[in-house]
């Protein structure tokens, strides 16, 4: 305790007791299934589990040697970075604007947080209804205007479509956090800077933005996880990984290989690689980003 | 099994009796993937069956899309919780067949019900698709469809085409499509659902061309794809060329192209006969015709192959349960049930009697085009090219084809490259799937 | 004074209105579609203004045949979804506030290891480990139970992380004062920490309620009886992209019904939600 700056309670057993429920649930519903996935990744098995064969690291070798896997890694990076950046940037812009206005703040906020409540499976359907070139009304308008909108064949447009849908759903969440973050910045600090003659833009970048760092950090973690995993429903409904393999992300590939094509070993190997990637990413975020973040 | 032909009053009596002696009822679980109106049909059928007798109760459960249902079934089997009946889509047939020990052939079950199982009562084209190489019927065909041609009569008129003459061959389709486009009758001439199922699998069967070795996989699991033969390349290059100026529009990998046709954007459309319901409901002035064939193929038209789904029965259940399943399948095979299913859904009747019955009732005279998918499938006895397509990993091989077609239609590669790649990647995937 | 620039405020209003148009449009559009006839929906493009079939469609969906999906009423589906969402929200808040409390306010061997053990679960969603998890649920006999729908989805670390962030901002003097007063860890938790966390709990409640409400793949696998199904599954059941006709106008109505409750929760609780976050991110 002496080494820690934080004041704590001395107690030998209580902390373990407090942790027990979460640890129990985590062990049963997370670690046990995850260990099964790891075990599966060194097997070659038919879907029904009627014949099982130990193949060592063969599945990993095949997955990592598959150019399609590297393609989906690239797709994932582009997709996640674009989604997280756009969702956070737009949300920050809107939050800053909402912080500025005096009238109608509550109404703006209410109208901006709707999409958060929409299930990904439903969100995907809504976007399909708007932008699918065969049934979407907005797609129809865009095409009538002479622009060749065809995300079914144009991979870049398909990427734009799923990034927009994914970012759309996350803007509300980020917006609320940024609004909260902005509200907690002492106005006196900003006023002091104004008196010193700092312009609005300068004030934002030198005072507001650094003070938002804890929020931004938290949102960075959440948005990365969101873009990696929770967008599956959107990709599933909107592009199905196509055209070609232009929007096949790592998680979509895990699903498609395991769930649709029933190649269990490859799919499990991909899950394991995915776990390693994400744990690594988080460790980096924690070590290097959180250190620069100040809490209270 | 004297349920066939019991009078209404007797049936009512049984229903009343069943409500007092429900402890003896055996539950039969049926996992399915039917949505929309078809979901209602599943519920109605189960209800009718349950009310028609008192020993068994069929409980239908929706388990998501076709792949989701199959996965739920597999997961449940591995956890020893398998349902009695599971609906598996056409492309999953190979997976189920390879799972010997997990499934029980429907032929065995139907004879357990007491009634003698007579294969000749069923439509041969459909039975062939769901049977082992030795002829044992493995699953019960529930919903089968076959690809046909739809066209918009108003657009045909505007383009100066004969609205009563649907194009019969692919060159005729291309010509009509170009005419629609150039005359300005519609923005696009032709679109199609299911490029894989219609333009490779059925293209092969209908033109009597090999799709893969080993009778397209019916004869054995080791298959080499043959879809990069010149006649396929020519067909797909024509599609790719038409796509350049928008005469052909791509709508998606399954049935997503349908709204292009319904909204009047495209004049001609290929889809499963099951797609008829939406076409009728949209209120458009439509016509139908058989699937076009390639006049260069000397045996064309041969016969088409079914799509849709069939009902599989899991192994390891009690005899009592299998008897219940048999009773239910016999109920489903009843002429009046099959005739009704066929007439309300656009799916094919499974039994010949139901087909004859529908014909006699004058249904086809009132609904021209509804007989087309059956005639297509029954016209000629199936050859080794036209019994069907079966792979352990057909969904994956279809995905590969779709990816290559999309890259072709977007102008990234020629038809030759696309089909060569599809064959190369498809063969490698098949080899891996069968463990070579 | 700063920020008292009318032009700047006008620009802010304009940007906000554009933002709202983009953000709310897809939902507005669903509503528009839910007031059209089937023919109009089947033959795009749709009008951008509501059609004249609001009452017709809504009464058909609520009181007509479609009110029952797979033999189960929409009310039952909504109830199941509510139980699941509430269970996940409440359960997860309970277990994570305890574990975050242990991690922040105690020093004990293995503290960081436990933190990471919990934290890593943030990184692997249900979808990836779904089949082995399903096997466990069968072994535990939890298929077709609310427990089975709720428990596995509680195994994630979002809430623990958020509580940890908040607890770390609580000044040490508060703990010290409590200890000087002779308050044990339990009294500190009950009398000081819990009241301080009220708004955080509200915020998390919203986040987790939405999370539970919007689940699809897990309830699909976990339920074999239609009576245990959820509204998102019910909705999916109505939609057929292939082979069958879909009553799109009624689907749109159900869509609105399915997204209305979580929207209400977010909108009604936004005040506490934002306040909870403000205190977290001091």
Per-residue tokens: B16: 């009343």
Which residue in B304, B226, B230, B310 sits closest to B271, CA to CA?
Answer: B304
Please give, rounded to a whole number of angstroms, the shortest distance from the CA of B66 to a CA of chain A: 9
**32-61 of C, contacting B, C-beta below 8 A:** 38-39, 42-45
Q: C20-67: per-residue pLDDT in tens?
A: 888 888 888 888 888 888 777 766 667 778 877 788 778 777 766 544
With an 8 Å Cβ cutoff, are C245 and B36 in contact?
Answer: yes
Indicate the domain borders of chain B. 2-145+307-361, 147-304+383-433
Instruction: Please tell me the predicted confidence (pLDDT) of residue C70.
Output: 57
User: Do the Cβ atoms of B54 and C211 come closer than 8 Å?
Assistant: no
| Beta strands at B26-32 and B85-89: parallel, antiparallel or unpaired | parallel
Distance CA B385, CA B370 (A): 25
With an 8 Å Cβ cutoff, are C236 and B35 in contact?
Answer: yes
With an 8 Å Cβ cutoff, are B396 and A259 in contact?
Answer: no
Instruction: Please tell me the predicted confidence (pLDDT) of residue C124.
Output: 65
With an 8 Å Cβ cutoff, are C243 and B274 in contact?
Answer: yes
User: Do the Cβ atoms of A63 and B432 come closer than 8 Å?
Assistant: no
Helix axes A155-183, A120-131, angle to 10 degrees: 130
DSSP bridge pairs for B86: B31, B312
With an 8 Å Cβ cutoff, are B39 and C131 in contact?
Answer: no
Distance CA B217, CA B426 (A): 13
Please give, rounded to a whole number of angstroms, the shortest distance from the CA of A10 to a CA of chain C: 7
Give me the residue from A134, A244, A261 closest to B403, CB to CB.
A244
Pick out chain C residues at pLDDT < 70.
1-4, 42-45, 63-71, 122-128, 239-246, 276-282
Distance CA B62, CA C225 (A): 9
Please give, rounded to a whole number of angstroms, the shortest distance from the CA of A183 to a CA of chain C: 7
Which residue in B204, B198, B378 sits closest to B297, CA to CA?
Answer: B204
With an 8 Å Cβ cutoff, are C188 and A9 in contact?
Answer: yes
**86-145 of B, contacting A, C-beta below 8 A:** 95, 98-102
Residue with the two structure tokens 């599971």: B86
Chain C residues near residue B39 by CB distance under 8 angstroms? 69-70, 237-238, 240, 244
Residues 6+ apart with CB under 8 A from C125: A229, A230, A232, A251, C156
Distance CA A22, CA A30 (A): 11
Instruction: Please tell me the predicted confidence (pLDDT) of residue C28.
Output: 86
User: Do the Cβ atoms of C194 and C101 come closer than 8 Å?
Assistant: no
Q: pLDDT averaged over chain C?
A: 80
**Three-state DSSP class for residue B250:** strand
- As a dihedral over the C-alpha atoms of residue B154, residue B156, residue B162, residue B167, rounded to 10 degrees, the angle is -130
With an 8 Å Cβ cutoff, are B395 and A242 in contact?
Answer: no
Across chain C, which distance is largest between two alpha carbons, in Å?
74
Q: List the alpha helices (DSSP H) in chain C.
A: 6-33, 38-42, 54-63, 74-105, 111-119, 130-139, 146-150, 158-167, 172-180, 185-187, 194-196, 198-213, 217-222, 231-238, 248-280
Chain B residues near residue C224 by CB distance under 8 angstroms? 29, 31, 61, 83
Please give, rounded to a whole number of angstroms, the shortest distance from the CA of C118 to a CA of chain B: 27
Which residue in B316, B360, B315 sits closest to B336, CA to CA?
Answer: B360
| Beta strands at B140-145 and B147-152: parallel, antiparallel or unpaired | unpaired
Level-2 CATH architecture, domain B2-145+307-361 = 3-Layer(aba) Sandwich (3.40)
| Beta strands at B56-62 and B26-32: parallel, antiparallel or unpaired | parallel
Degrees, nearest 5: CA angle B302-B303-B306: 160
Tell which phi-psi region holds residue B248, choosing left (phi > 0), alpha (psi between -120 and 50) or beta: beta
With an 8 Å Cβ cutoff, are A155 and B410 in contact?
Answer: yes
Chain B residues near residue C142 by CB distance under 8 angstroms? none
Residue of A nearest to C152 (CA): A29
User: Do the Cβ atoms of A142 and A149 come closer than 8 Å?
Assistant: yes
Q: B181-213: per-residue pLDDT in tens?
A: 999 999 999 999 999 999 999 999 999 999 999
Chain A residues near residue B404 by CB distance under 8 angstroms? 244
Three-state SS letters, chain A: CCCCCCCCECCCCHHHHHHHHHHHHHHHHHHHHHHHHHHHCCEEECCCCCCEEECCCHHHHHHHHCHHHHHHHHHHHHHHHHHHHHHHHHHHHHHHHHHHCCCCHHHHHHHHCHHHHCCHHHHHHHHHHHHCCCCCHHHHHHHHCCCCCCCCCCHHHHHHHHHHHHHHHHHHHHHHHHHHHHHCCCHHHHHHHHHCCCCHHHHHHHHHHHHCHHHHHHHHHHHHHHHHHHCHHHHHHHCCCCCCCCCCCHHHHHHHHHHHCCCHHHHHHHHHHHHHHHHHHHHHHHHHHHHHCCCC
Please give, rounded to a whole number of angstroms, the shortest distance from the CA of A92 to a CA of chain B: 36
Which residue in B305, B4, B34, B24 sits closest to B147, CA to CA?
Answer: B305
Q: Is some CB atom of chain C closer than 8 A to the CB atom of B366?
A: no
User: Do the Cβ atoms of A17 and A9 come closer than 8 Å?
Assistant: no
pLDDT at A6 over 70: no
Distance CA B191, CA C277 (A): 52
Residues 6+ apart with CB under 8 A from B415: B233, B234, B235, B236, B237, B239, B240, B408
Residues 6+ apart with CB under 8 A from A115: A123, A168, A169, A171, A172, C23, C24, C26, C27
Q: Which chains touch A (3 or more CB pairs under 8 A)?
A: B, C
On the 0-12 / 13-18 / 19+ scale of CB atoms within 10 A, B24 is: exposed
Give me the residue from C3, C96, C121 closest to A30, CB to CB.
C121
Q: Is some CB atom of chain C closer than 8 A to the CB atom of A180?
A: yes
Per-residue tokens: B193: 């659902």
Chain C residues near residue A184 by CB distance under 8 angstroms? 278-279, 281-282
Best residue of B252, B312, B409 to probe chain A, by most A CBs closer than 10 Å: B252
Per-residue tokens: A233: 């429903």
Residue of A nearest to B71 (CA): A259
**In the Cβ-directed half-sphere of B411, how many Cα atoms lie within 13 Å?**
7
Which residue in C211, C247, C251, C209 sits closest to C234, CA to CA?
Answer: C251
The whole domain housing A98 covers 38-292
Distance CA B216, CA B203 (A): 13
**265-284 of B, contacting C, C-beta below 8 A:** 272, 274-275, 277-278, 280-284
Give me the residue from C65, C69, C135 closest to B79, CB to CB.
C135
**In residues, how long is chain B?**
436
On the 0-12 / 13-18 / 19+ scale of CB atoms within 10 A, B25 is: middle
Q: pLDDT averaged over chain A?
A: 83
Mean pLDDT of A192-200: 80
The complex scores an ipTM of: 0.80
With an 8 Å Cβ cutoff, are A44 and B399 in contact?
Answer: no
DSSP characters over B175-204: HHHHHHHHHTSSSEEEEES-HHIIIIIIHH
Best residue of A2, A30, A123, A197 to probe chain C, by most C CBs closer than 10 Å: A30
Per-residue tokens: A283: 């460790």
**In the Cβ-directed half-sphere of B297, how many Cα atoms lie within 13 Å?**
25
Give me the residue from B37, B63, B79 closest to C134, CB to CB.
B79
Mean pLDDT of A157-167: 92
Quote the number of domains for chain A.
1
Instruction: Please tell me the predicted confidence (pLDDT) of residue A3.
Output: 35
* Contacts by B22-26, CB closer than 8 A, 24 or more apart: B24/B54, B24/B55, B25/B54, B25/B55, B25/B56, B25/B57, B26/B55, B26/B56, B26/B57, B26/B320, B26/B321, B26/B324
Which letter does DSSP use for residue B313 in this model?
A: E
Q: What are phi and psi of B252, to 5 degrees?
A: 140, 175
Q: What is the CATH number of the domain that holds A66?
A: 1.10.3720.10
Best residue of A1, A2, A6, A9 to probe chain C, by most C CBs closer than 10 Å: A9
With an 8 Å Cβ cutoff, are C135 and B29 in contact?
Answer: no
Give me the residue from C20, C108, C232 closest to A108, CB to CB.
C20
Instruction: Please tell me the predicted confidence (pLDDT) of residue C245.
Output: 59
Level-2 CATH architecture, domain B147-304+383-433 = 3-Layer(aba) Sandwich (3.40)
Chain B residues near residue A152 by CB distance under 8 angstroms? 250-252, 256, 406
With an 8 Å Cβ cutoff, are A152 and B252 in contact?
Answer: yes
Distance CA A19, CA A21 (A): 6
Does A33 fall in a domain?
no
The secondary structure element, H or E, covering residue B151 is strand B147-152
Pick out chain B residues at pLDDT < 70.
1-23, 113-115, 436
Mean pLDDT of A255-279: 83
Q: Rg (Cα) of chain C, in Å, rounded?
A: 23
Per-residue tokens: B394: 């057909």
Which residue in C58, B9, C219 sits closest to A121, CA to CA?
Answer: C219
Q: A207-246: per-residue pLDDT in tens?
A: 888 888 878 887 887 888 788 877 887 888 788 887 888 9
With an 8 Å Cβ cutoff, are A278 and C108 in contact?
Answer: no
Distance CA C274, CA A176 (A): 6
């Amino acid at each position: 305790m002496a080494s820690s700056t934080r004041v704590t309670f001395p107690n030998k057993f209580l902390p373990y007791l407090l942790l027990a429920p979460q640890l129990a649930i985590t062990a049963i519903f997370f670690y046990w299934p995850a260990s099964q996935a790891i075990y599966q990744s060194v097997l070659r098995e038919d879907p029904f589990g009627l014949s099982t064969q130990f193949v060592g690291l063969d599945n990993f070798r095949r997955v990592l040697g598959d150019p399609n896997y590297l393609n989906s890694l690239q797709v994932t990076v582009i997709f996640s970075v674009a989604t997280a950046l756009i969702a956070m940037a737009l949300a920050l812009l809107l939050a800053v604007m909402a912080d500025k206005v005096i009238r109608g703040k509550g109404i703006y906020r209410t109208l901006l947080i709707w999409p958060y409540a929409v299930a990904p499976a439903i969100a995907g359907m809504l976007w399909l209804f708007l932008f699918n070139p065969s049934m979407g009304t907005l797609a129809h308008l865009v095409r009538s205007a002479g622009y060749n909108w065809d995300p079914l064949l144009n991979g870049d447009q398909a990427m734009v479509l799923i990034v927009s849908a994914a970012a759309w759903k996350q803007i509300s969440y980020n917006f609320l956090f940024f609004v909260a973050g902005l509200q907690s910045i002492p106005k006196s600090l900003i006023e002091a800077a104004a008196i010193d003659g700092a312009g609005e833009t300068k004030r934002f970048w030198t005072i507001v933005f650094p003070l938002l760092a804890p929020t931004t950090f938290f949102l960075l973690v959440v948005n990365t996880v969101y873009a990696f995993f929770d967008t599956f429903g959107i990709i599933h409904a909107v592009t199905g990984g196509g055209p070609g393999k232009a929007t096949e992300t790592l998680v979509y590939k895990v699903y498609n290989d395991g769930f649709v094509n029933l190649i269990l070993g490859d799919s499990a190997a991909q899950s394991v690689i995915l776990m390693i990637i994400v744990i690594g990413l988080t460790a980096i975020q924690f070590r290097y980003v959180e250190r620069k973040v100040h809490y209270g | 099994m004297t349920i066939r032909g019991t009078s209404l009053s007797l049936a009512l009596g049984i229903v009343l009796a069943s409500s007092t002696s429900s402890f003896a009822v055996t539950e039969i679980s049926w996992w399915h993937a039917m949505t929309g109106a078809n979901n209602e049909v599943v519920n109605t059928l189960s209800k009718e069956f349950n009310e028609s007798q008192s020993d068994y109760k069929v409980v239908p459960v929706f388990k998501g899309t076709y792949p989701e249902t199959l996965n739920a079934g597999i997961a449940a089997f591995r956890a020893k919780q398998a349902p009695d009946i599971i609906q598996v889509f056409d492309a999953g047939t190979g997976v189920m067949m390879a799972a010997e020990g997990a499934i029980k052939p429907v032929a065995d079950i139907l004879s357990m019900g007491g009634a003698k199982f007579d294969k000749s009562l069923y439509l041969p084209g459909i039975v062939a698709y769901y049977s082992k190489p030795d002829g044992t019927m493995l699953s019960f065909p529930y919903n089968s469809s076959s690809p046909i041609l739809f066209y918009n009569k108003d657009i045909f008129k505007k383009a100066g085409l004969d609205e009563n003459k649907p194009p019969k061959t692919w060159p005729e389709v291309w010509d009509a499509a170009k005419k629609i486009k150039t005359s300005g009758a519609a923005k696009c001439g032709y679109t199609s659902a299911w490029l894989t199922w219609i333009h490779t699998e059925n293209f092969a069967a209908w033109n009597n061309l090999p799709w893969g070795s080993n009778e397209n996989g019916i004869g054995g699991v080791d298959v080499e794809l043959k879809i990069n033969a010149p006649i396929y390349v020519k067909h797909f290059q024509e599609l790719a060329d038409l796509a350049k100026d928008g005469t052909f529009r791509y709508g998606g990998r399954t049935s997503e192209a349908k709204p292009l046709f319904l909204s009047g954007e495209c004049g001609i459309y290929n889809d499963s006969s099951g797609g008829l319901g939406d076409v009728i409901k949209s209120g458009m002035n439509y016509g139908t015709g058989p699937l076009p064939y390639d006049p260069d193929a000397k045996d064309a038209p041969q016969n088409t192959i079914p799509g849709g789904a069939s009902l599989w029965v899991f192994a390891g259940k009690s005899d009592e349960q299998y008897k219940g399943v048999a009773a239910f399948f016999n109920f489903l095979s009843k002429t009046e049930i099959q005739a009704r299913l066929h007439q309300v859904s656009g799916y094919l009747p499974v039994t010949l009697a139901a087909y004859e019955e529908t014909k006699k009732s004058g249904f086809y005279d009132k609904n021209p085009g509804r007989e087309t998918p059956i005639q297509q499938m029954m016209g000629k006895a199936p050859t080794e090219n036209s019994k069907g397509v079966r792979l352990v990993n057909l969904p994956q091989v279809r995905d590969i084809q779709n990816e290559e077609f999309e890259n072709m239609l977007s102008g990234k590669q020629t038809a030759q490259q696309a089909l060569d790649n599809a064959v190369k990647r498809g063969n490698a995937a098949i080899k891996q799937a069968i463990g070579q | 004074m700063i920020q008292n620039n009318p032009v700047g405020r006008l620009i802010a209003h304009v940007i906000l209105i554009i933002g709202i148009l983009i953000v709310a449009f897809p939902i507005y559009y669903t509503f528009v579609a839910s007031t059209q006839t089937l023919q109009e929906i089947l033959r795009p493009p749709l009008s951008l203004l509501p059609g004249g079939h609001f009452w017709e469609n809504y009464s058909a969906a609520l009181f007509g045949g479609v009110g029952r999906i797979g033999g189960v009423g929409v009310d039952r589906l909504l109830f199941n979804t509510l139980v699941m969402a509430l269970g996940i929200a409440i359960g997860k808040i309970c277990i994570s506030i305890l574990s975050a409390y242990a991690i922040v306010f105690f020093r004990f061997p293995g503290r960081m290891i436990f933190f990471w053990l919990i934290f890593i679960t943030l990184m692997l969603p249900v979808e990836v480990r779904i089949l082995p998890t399903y096997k466990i649920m069968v072994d535990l006999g939890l298929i077709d139970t609310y427990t089975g729908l709720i428990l596995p989805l509680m195994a994630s670390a979002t809430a623990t992380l958020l509580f940890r962030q908040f607890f770390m901002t609580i000044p040490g003097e508060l703990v010290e004062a409590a200890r000087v007063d002779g308050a044990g860890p339990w009294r500190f938790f009950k009398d000081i920490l819990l009241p301080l966390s009220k708004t955080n709990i509200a915020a998390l409640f919203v986040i987790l309620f939405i999370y539970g409400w919007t689940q699809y793949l897990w309830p699909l696998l976990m339920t074999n009886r239609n009576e245990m199904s959820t509204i998102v599954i019910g909705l999916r059941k109505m939609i057929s992209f292939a082979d069958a006709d879909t009553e799109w106008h009624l689907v749109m109505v159900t869509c609105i019904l399915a997204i209305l409750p979580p929207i209400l929760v977010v909108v009604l609780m936004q005040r506490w939600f934002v306040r909870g976050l403000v205190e977290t991110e001091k």
